[in-house]
Every structure is written in structure tokens, then in C-alpha cells.
Amino acid sequence: MARRLIISAKDAASALVEGPDPSPGPGQVAIRVAACGLNFADLLMISGQYQDQPPFPLTPGMEIAGTVAAAGPGVDPGLVGRRVAAFPGQGGLAEVALAPADRLVPLADHMPMDEAAAMQVAYGTSHLALLRTARLKPGETLLVLGAAGGVGLTAVEIGAMIGARVIASARGPEKGAIAAQAGAQHVLDSDRDDLTDAVRALGGADVVYDAVGGPAFRAALSATRPEGRILLIGFASGTLPDIRPNHLLVKNVSVHGFYWGGYLSFAPDVLTDSLAEVFRWRAEGRISPHISHRFPLERADEALALLKGRGSTGKVVVLP
């Protein structure tokens, strides 16, 4: 018997339900979940607003790490007992979760489960968005909006690692200090600083990593250099950005929408290769995942509320 968090309907109260262990179907494995990383997308699922919205009732939790407990038809039974990370897309807030066998990332014995669960979406997003889509180069200036959040902090870290000059915009001095520790050379307080003026005073931005949306997008666009690239990662502000094409035309600026999970449908090998490099970086000590809070499954509601209230930095992880 295994427990899982169930959301019965849009914005409905959750319930921790016990039932039989789920059985893996063809091409699937069942994973005994050791850790589940939370993402802003989980909140969108709960509110029925996610772009790949699953039907209700649903169990949130997009990324997990644990041990393979069972293999479905067509899957190598030798996987049972292996330590893995996986991206099931939902269902991770449970003691046992199902995941496609072809999305498994093998974990070394020394890799902490909580870090493995926290790395896939955040680092995978920043790795592909910055290096493949925006083609960020050493010496360029990267502006990160929402720089202390789950994906934002990884963008700061990866940008600094490859030799970019990183400007981090975060809410309040405490979050700004965390962005600075991750490698930002310049830190702006989004509650106090005028983003456009501050970034212009620093010479402008070549690449903007926008996980916030809303008015911050326009402010960042005004401070983007000619031929700059703006990455639309998410809309944590709850407001879609107002994109005026004539402004893009005048400055020769490109705006790129970026959805990490989308690669699973049109270029899964790109995503797999990206994750392999991210986990290699972790093994080499080049990146260091930041987890601000860890909760047991019984307090998953509290973990989600913390994420929604922006009370966390980096990642929030639930440990079933």
C-alpha cells in the first residue's frame, strides 16, 4: 500500500490517500519515491491552467528521484533496484510513482536523492534555454528576472559558470544575497530598483532570462541591447507580458518562448543529452543545487503554499 496526494478538482483541497501500489504499464517503471521536486507548474496544474493540463483528479509532482520498484512489460527487469531520477510530468507527490522507462536518469551512489529530484526541471530549463536557444557566450551580459527562484537561480549559476556577466533581479536583500552567492556580479532589488535604469547603467543586457513576465518584461526589453535575446521562461507574476513588435523591430531584438517539457514530444534526445551534461556537472562539482526547504509528504500542502507565497529560494523538495 502506498500514499499519494490527490487533488480532486480545480483549486480543490487536497487529500492524502492510501491505496495499492500502482502497477507499471508497457514501457513504464514504478519508482519508490525518495524525493519529489516542486515547481511553479505544479501550482498551475492545481489551478487548471497548465499548458499540458492533466485531467482531475490528479497528483502533482513533475520530477522525482528514488529506486525502481517494478518494471512493466517491455522494460528491462534489471532496472529493479536501481537508483534513478525521472520526469513523469505528474504523480510525484506519492510514495510510489509511475514513470516512462526511457526518461530515467541513472544516479551514482553518492548522488543525494533530494538534489537529484530538484535538478531536472530547473537546471534542464536553464541549460537548454541559455546554451541552445539564446546561445549565451562568455563575456556577454545576462539579466535574470526572478533570480532567486527555482529556475532563476540555476540561470545565474550556469551563466556565471560559462563566463557571462550576470545581473540578478530578485525580491529583497535576502534573496539578492543568495543570487550573489550563485555567481551574480550585480544584484538588483525588484521591489526597490528601477530595472530599466539600473540595467542601462550597467551597459544593458545581451540575454534576458524572464521567469516573471508582466511589467518586468517591458522594463527588461527597454534595457536590452540591439540584437539581444529575450527568453520567455514563465509568468510567475501571474501576468502575461505585453509584447510590442515594433519595439522588437527597432532594436533587432528576438523573443524566444521556451518550454522544457516540450522537447519530450519533438526532440527527446536533446532533453536527454542536456540532462546527462547537467548531472555530469554536478558530479564534477561545477554546480551546486540550492534547496531552501524540505518537507515530509504529510506536509505537502504546506510545501505548495510556501512555493505559491514565494517564501522559498531555489527549490522546495518533498521527501515521501
* Domain boundaries, given as residue ranges, for the chain: 2-120+267-319, 138-258
3-58 per-position pLDDT tens digit: 999 999 998 889 999 999 999 999 999 999 999 999 999 999 999 999 889 999 99
Q: Output Rg (C-alpha) for the chain, integer angstroms.
A: 20
CA–CA gap between residue 107 and residue 66 (Å, rounded)? 9
Please give the model's pTM, rounded to 2 decimal places.
0.93
Q: Do 289 and 263 touch, CB atoms closer than 8 A?
A: no
CA–CA gap between residue 147 and residue 82 (Å, rounded)? 34
> What pLDDT score was predicted for residue 52?
86
> Burial of 226 by CB count in 10 Å (0-12 exposed, 13-18 middle, 19+ buried)?
exposed
Residue segments in the chain with a per-residue pLDDT below the cut of 50: none
172: left (phi over 0), alpha (psi -120 to 50) or beta: left
User: Does CATH place domain 138-258 in 3.30.450.40?
Assistant: no
Q: Which helix (H) or strand (E) holds 3?
A: strand 2-7
> Burial of 41 by CB count in 10 Å (0-12 exposed, 13-18 middle, 19+ buried)?
buried
Buried b (16+ CB within 10 A) or exposed e, 294-320: ebebeebeebbebbeeeebbbbbbbbb
> What pLDDT score was predicted for residue 245?
86
Q: Do 205 and 212 touch, CB atoms closer than 8 A?
A: no
Angle at 179 between CA 175 and CA 184, to 5 degrees: 145
Distance in angstroms between the alpha carbons of the first and the last residue of the chain:
13
Domain spanning 2-120+267-319: which CATH class is it, in words? Answer: alpha beta
> What pLDDT score was predicted for residue 12?
87
> What pLDDT score was predicted for residue 81?
98
DSSP 8-class letter at 53: P
Q: Do 219 and 195 touch, CB atoms closer than 8 A?
A: yes
CA–CA gap between residue 80 and residue 69 (Å, rounded)? 5
130-154 per-position pLDDT tens digit: 999 999 999 999 999 999 999 999 9
Task: Of 169, 210, 171, 205, give the one whose Cα is nearest residue 186.
Answer: 169
- Close Cβ partners of 79 (under 8 Å, ≥ 6 residues apart): 29, 68, 71, 101, 104
> What pLDDT score was predicted for residue 147?
97
Is the fold of 2-120+267-319 the same as that of 138-258?
A: no
Q: Which three cell numbers stand for residue 193?
A: 530598483
Q: What's the sign of the alpha-carbon dihedral 92, 95, 98, 100?
A: positive
